[in-house]
Amino acid sequence: MTAFALEDFGSAMVQSSPLAEAAPGPFDEGYAAGWDDAVARLDEENGLLGARLQETLARLTESRAAAVDGLVAMLEPALRDIFDTFLPRAAQSAFLPILMQELTEVMADGDARPVLLVAPEEEPPLTRLIDQAELADRVTIRPEPALALSQAMIRWEGQERQVDLEAVLSDLDAALDTFLHGLLPGCANPPTDTTPKEANHG
């Protein structure tokens, strides 16, 4: 039987494959151009979105600052009233009990015989308290015009202790002024002296 020689088309197809040798066509160029346009539009939209976000945050910050300023301005009269009226009354009510507590500590050893200097207006109510505590034979009360209300000096055996709620109130007023001036630069009462004062020695 005679054998027929068959031609091998496989190698010819591989060598002449149009996919292997084809140069970029109109489709590839259009795809690349469309991709570049999409990326450019995305970058532009991101830039616009960032700008809008920044403007929104700036408006919110300004609105918040304005709201805080308005709230502080509304609260300032009430805070001033508390510091100028309520706190002095509270200090005046607490002064004699605080003074009696300080006096008790001074006399805790049983031998001290203190001299108590107070404003003339404080002498009568303080004398009544001393009598009620049965300490009149050990405590001497002397009026001192140089002392203001809520101020006193306890002296015994070469030592002294000062009770000064007036200084505490002054420090609180200065702290309020500092607080309000920090929030409202145009505050009518900027702080003038915020040096801490010692209200109780000993």
DSSP strands (E only) in 69-158: 115-118, 140-143, 151-156
Q: What is the pLDDT of residue 154?
A: 94
Summarised one tens digit per residue, pLDDT across range 141-176 is 999 999 998 899 999 988 999 999 888 888 788 888
Phi (first) and psi of residue 199, to 5 degrees:
-95, -20
Kindly report the average pLDDT of the chain as a whole number. 75
Q: Pairing state of beta strands 151-156 and 159-164?
A: antiparallel
Report residue 94 as tokens.
Answer: 């607490």
Write the pLDDT tens digit of every residue in 77-91. 887 887 788 788 888
pLDDT over 70 percentage in the chain: 71
Most confidently modeled range among 79-88, 103-112, 113-122, 172-181: 113-122
174-to-6, 93, 169, 195 alpha-carbon distances in Å = 111, 22, 9, 9
- Residue 127 scores a pLDDT above 80: yes
Integer Cα distance of 45 and 64 in angstroms: 28
Question: Is pLDDT larger for residue 125 or for residue 18?
Answer: 125
Stretch among 26-30, 104-108, 166-170 having the lowest mean pLDDT: 26-30
pLDDT at 198 exceeding the cut of 60:
no
- The helix/strand/coil state of 115 is strand
Q: At 33, is the pLDDT very low, low, confident or very high (cuts 50, 70, 90)?
A: low
Q: What is the mean pLDDT of residues 15-26?
A: 52
Q: What is the pTM of this model?
A: 0.49
| CA–CA dist 20, 1 (Å, integer) | 41
Contact 114, 161 (CB under 8 A): no
Q: In what order do the strands lie in the sheet with 159-164?
A: 140-143, 115-118, 151-156, 159-164
The full set of domain ranges for the chain reads: 50-183
